[in-house]
Amino acid sequence: MAVTQCVLFDLDGTLIESHALYATCAQAALTAEFGSSPPFKDLVSKTRPISERMFLIDWLGEEVGARVHGRLCDVYEACAADLLGGLYAGVAELLQGLRASGVPMGIVSGKSRRAFAATRESMKELDLFDVVILEDDVSAPKPDPEGLLLALSAFGMPATNAVYVGDTHADVDAAKRAGMVGAFALWSHSDEERQQITESLAPNVWRLHAPTELAARLLP
């Protein structure tokens, strides 16, 4: 059976360009906490963190990480309208096509509820999604499949009829653990990264160089 009955998406790096915004927020939050900013930009570019608060707590410890996350969210709310890069090229058309075809769509993201609310204020396209599962809703970040399973439960949909689209190995690993098809969104990566990622993926992972490639798989 074609996997067209439910599509779940990661958010940052998959649907929206938010690297500049997060770099600004992290630098401001870390400078406020420590007096200067550690090389967060380089760390983020290499690791593509799959959560906000949990990532900072793992890095800085419970108390400091939670405090830095609060500062980060303060800056995010203040700067989102100006610094969000918007949807990647072709994403709006993909979402509209899925909606028009009646395909249920959800978001499963490591983004915090505060940051998502600020993002939604600036990007009304996010109102197209029927289910949104965020970092606040789970006990562990991806590749733990908890968030994906929560979304599937909300839809009343079996994993075998669903696909999860993300931009990290943790995303496709989470899809595999949930029993879903994993799809790797390569469009936010450099050409060099795309080649390395493509070679590292299991054969059954969908390799997507553009949103149109997902549309071609899912839409009539």
Residues with a catalytic annotation lie at: 10, 12
User: Is residue 163 within 8 Å of residue 183, measured between CB atoms?
Assistant: yes
DSSP β-bridge partners for residue 9: 107, 165
Burial of 56 by CB count in 10 Å (0-12 exposed, 13-18 middle, 19+ buried)?
buried
Q: How far apart are CA 55 and CA 48, in angstroms?
A: 10
Q: Where are the beta strands (DSSP E) in 61-151?
A: 105-108, 131-133
Only one residue has tokens 């009304």, namely: 124
Q: Which of 130, 72, 83 is nearest to 105 (CA)?
A: 130
